[in-house]
Amino acid sequence: MPDVAYIRSNTLPVAGSYPLKYDTLNDTFDILIVGGGPIGLACGLEAKNAGLSYIIIEKGTITNSLFHYPLNMTFFSTADRLEIGGFPFPSIHAKPNRSEALEYYRRVADVEQLNIRLFEEVTGIAQEEKVYHVNTSKAKYKARHVIVATGFYDIPNKLGIAGEDLPKVRHYYYDPHFYYKQKIVVVGANNSSADVALETWRKGANVTMVVREGELGRIKYWTKPDLENRIAEGSIKAYFNSSLTEVREQEVDIQTPDGKLTIPNDYVMAMTGYQPNFPFLEKIGVKLSDDFFRHPYHNPETMETNMPGLYLAGVVCGGMETHVWFIENSREHAVKIVRDILKK
pLDDT tens string 156-199: 999 999 999 999 999 999 999 999 999 999 999 999 999 999 99
38 vs 64: CA distance, rounded Å: 10
Cα distance between residue 104 and residue 90, in whole Å: 8
What secondary structure letter does DSSP report for 344? Answer: -
208 three-state secondary structure:
strand
Express each pLDDT in 50-105 by its tens digit.
Answer: 999 999 999 999 999 999 999 999 998 999 999 999 999 999 988 999 999 999 99
Please give the pLDDT value at position 340.
97
Mean pLDDT to the nearest integer, 319-334: 90
Q: What gap in Å lies between CA 12 and CA 122, rounded to an integer?
A: 23
Across 37-45, average pLDDT: 98
For 311, the 3-state DSSP assignment is: strand
Domains defined along the chain, listed by start:
4-155+274-343 (3.50.50.60), 158-270 (3.50.50.60)
Tell me whether residue 165 is exposed, middle or buried, using C-beta atoms within 10 angstroms of its C-beta: 0 to 12, 13 to 18, 19 or more: exposed
- Nearest C-alpha neighbor of 96 from the set 66, 135, 55, 137: 66
29-34 and 206-210 beta bridge pairing: unpaired
Residue 9 pLDDT grade (very low, low, confident, very high; cuts 50, 70, 90): very low
Q: How confident is the model at residue 24 (pLDDT cuts 50, 70, 90)?
A: low
Cα four-point dihedral sign 303, 304, 309, 313: negative
Q: Residue 15 pLDDT more than 90?
A: no
pLDDT at 17 over 70: no
3-state SS class at 128: strand
Say if residue 21's pLDDT is above 60. Answer: no
Among candidate residues 127, 140, 142, 154, the one with its CA nearest the CA of residue 306:
127
- Strands 169-170 and 267-270, by their bridges, are parallel
Q: At a CB cut-off of 8 Å and minimum separation 6, what does 112 contact? A: 44, 45, 48, 85
Give the CA count within 13 Å in the CB-facing half-sphere of 252. 28
Q: How confident is the model at residue 323 (pLDDT cuts 50, 70, 90)?
A: confident
* Average pLDDT across the chain, whole number: 91
Lowest mean pLDDT among 47-51, 120-124, 251-255, 271-275: 271-275
Query: Nearest-CA neighbor of 336 among 124, 47, 105?
Result: 47
| Other beta carbons within 10 Å of 246 | 16
Q: Alpha-carbon distance 283 to 123, whole Å?
A: 10
Q: Which of 78, 79, 76 is nearest to 87 (CA)?
A: 79
Considering only residues 151 and 307, tell me which one the structure prediction assigns the higher pLDDT.
307
- pLDDT of the residue at 224: 95
* Residue 343 CA from chain centroid, whole number: 30
Give the model confidence (pLDDT) of 199-217 as tens digits: 999 999 999 999 999 999 9
| Proportion of the chain above pLDDT 90, given as a percent | 84
Average pLDDT over residues 279-283: 96
pLDDT, residue 38, reads 97
- Residues in contact with 262: Cβ distance below 8 Å, sequence separation at least 6, in sequence order: 251, 252, 253, 254
Q: What pLDDT, on a 0 to 100 scale, did the predictor assign at position 339? A: 97
> Residue 23: its pLDDT value, please?
55
As a whole number of angstroms, the distance between CA 27 and CA 21 comes to 10
Q: What does DSSP assign to residue 237?
A: E
What element of type H or E holds 328? helix 327-330
Q: What was the pLDDT predicted at 94? A: 86
pLDDT at residue 19 tops 80 = no
Q: Residue 10 — pLDDT band, cuts 50, 70, 90?
A: very low
What is the per-residue pLDDT for 22? Answer: 54
pLDDT reported for residue 152: 86
